[in-house]
């Protein structure tokens, strides 16, 4: 197997919030050099399973793989691997190590539109309907300068999409639900029920990212029927900072539902796998040490959060923090990480990358501007949550 091999362009379909088929959710089509955004086919236009991954971008990617060449827009994986840790590519290669590189849909990565019950500061209108509403009311918040009326976020509520499901559900082994917030979307439950009716639930693993602010009991009833459930629980700070970033979510609701899903795990056992996912951005960098400590001391079996590096929007990238802040944050994080009897290399490699990269003052200025604009709309102040920024807040 070549050093650039990735199974995903062969055995899985990844669908974005508007129904476009992309190589995977980690593919960096927002890279400044990427110019083929209009070349992603839409799932509503393709019904032949043999053609799901035959668009120009997939063809280009598979050609690079088969030439043992690192594909340019898979750079998020290369960055992680070069830092000494695993990546999205290596994870799925291991999970599907017995699969052959041939077109057979075993894995569906499905973004069910943008319906969401919160509007995280590092998020966007393609992933949150509440962000979509905000930029309509407050044009000054529209960093993306996009007209959201051009997008169809309910592509999955169509006969064509149901035909697509008919084609792939007989061979599917895993579904990863993205959002939006999957647990508040009716289609998520409908798909699980369809798999149960096909008598295939015990052969299918499901995975989803959730903000854990809505946890209906019917989930437990359905999960009992499936092979495995991976629940990635999003948390970007402790108490008030999490509420500031993941607005207007409430920490008390998050903790209540965390306790609830931990109780469900006692009933489901190893079938239910829980982990905390946290973003590493300019908003979280100075208090990530508190997240590491909290997760380590929690009742979650995975004692370290899965850290998601934020570089979109670009001004959120922590490499652009003032150098003094970068060093202070590094010192605080290492003070916790170095005392853990865990493999923390994936996080420390990211921190090393952040420290070594040159900052762009223009991006930091944009971070201040956009944060002030959003604070004004939400009647908040970042300095109440991250006072270390005070001397730089001009």
User: Do the beta carbons of residue 241 and residue 213 sit within 8 Å?
Assistant: no
Residue 207 three-state SS? strand
- Parallel, antiparallel, or unpaired: how do β-strands 107-111 and 205-210 relate? unpaired
Lowest mean pLDDT among 5-14, 44-53, 270-279, 336-345: 44-53
Please name which of 354, 378, 382, 388 lies closest in space to residue 368, comparing C-alpha atoms: 382
192-234: pLDDT as tens digits: 999 999 999 999 999 999 999 999 999 999 999 999 999 999 9
Query: Is the pLDDT confidence value at 30 over 80?
Result: no
Q: Taking 70 as the threshold, does the pLDDT of residue 56 lie above it?
A: yes
User: What's the pTM value of the predicted model, to 2 decimals?
Assistant: 0.90
Enter the DSSP assignment of 20. B
Burial of 3 (0-12, 13-18, 19+ CB in 10 A): exposed
Is it the case that residue 77 has pLDDT exceeding 70? yes
Q: What is the band of 25 on the pLDDT scale with cuts at 50, 70, 90?
A: confident
pLDDT at 103 over 70: no
- CA gap 379, 394 in Å, rounded: 18
212, burial (CB in 10 Å: exposed 0-12, middle 13-18, buried 19+): buried
Residue 1 has pLDDT above 60, yes or no: no
69: pLDDT strictly greater than 60: yes
């Amino acid at each position: 197997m070549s050093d650039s091999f990735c199974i995903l362009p062969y055995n899985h379909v990844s669908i974005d919030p508007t129904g476009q088929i992309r190589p995977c959710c980690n593919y960096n089509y927002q890279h400044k050099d990427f110019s083929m955004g209009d070349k992603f086919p839409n799932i509503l236009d393709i019904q032949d399973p043999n053609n799901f991954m035959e668009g120009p971008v997939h063809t280009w990617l598979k050609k690079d793989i088969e030439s043992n060449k690192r594909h340019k827009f898979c750079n998020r994986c290369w960055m992680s691997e070069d830092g000494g840790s695993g990546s999205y590519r290596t994870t799925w290669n291991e999970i599907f190590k017995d699969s052959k590189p041939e077109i057979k849909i075993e894995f569906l990565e499905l973004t069910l539109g943008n319906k969401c019950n919160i509007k995280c500061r590092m998020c966007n209108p393609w992933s949150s309907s509440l962000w979509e509403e905000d930029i309509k009311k407050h044009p000054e918040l529209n960093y993306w300068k996009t007209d959201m009326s051009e997008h169809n976020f309910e592509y999955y509520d169509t006969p064509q999409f149901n035909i697509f499901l008919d084609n792939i559900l007989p061979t599917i082994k895993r579904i990863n639900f993205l959002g939006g917030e999957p647990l508040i979307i009716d289609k998520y439950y409908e798909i699980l029920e369809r798999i149960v009716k096909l008598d295939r639930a015990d052969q299918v693993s499901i995975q989803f990212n959730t903000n854990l602010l809505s946890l209906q009991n019917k989930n437990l009833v359905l999960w009992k029927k499936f092979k495995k459930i991976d629940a990635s629980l999003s948390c970007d700070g402790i108490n008030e900072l999490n509420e500031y970033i993941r607005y207007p979510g409430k920490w008390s609701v998050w903790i209540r539902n965390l306790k609830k899903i931990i109780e469900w795990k006692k009933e489901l056992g190893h079938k239910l796998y829980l982990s905390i996912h946290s973003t590493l951005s300019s908003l979280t960098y100075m208090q990530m040490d508190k997240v590491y400590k909290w997760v380590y001391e929690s009742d979650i079996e995975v004692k370290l959060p899965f850290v998601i590096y934020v570089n979109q929007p670009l001004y959120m990238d922590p490499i652009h923090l003032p150098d003094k802040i970068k060093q202070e944050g590094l010192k605080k994080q290492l003070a916790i990480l170095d005392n853990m009897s865990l493999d923390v290399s994936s996080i420390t490699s990211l921190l090393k990358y952040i420290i070594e990269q040159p900052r762009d003052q223009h991006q930091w200025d944009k971070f201040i501007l956009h944060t002030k604009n959003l604070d004004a709309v939400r009647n908040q102040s970042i300095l109440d949550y991250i006072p270390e920024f005070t001397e730089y807040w001009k």
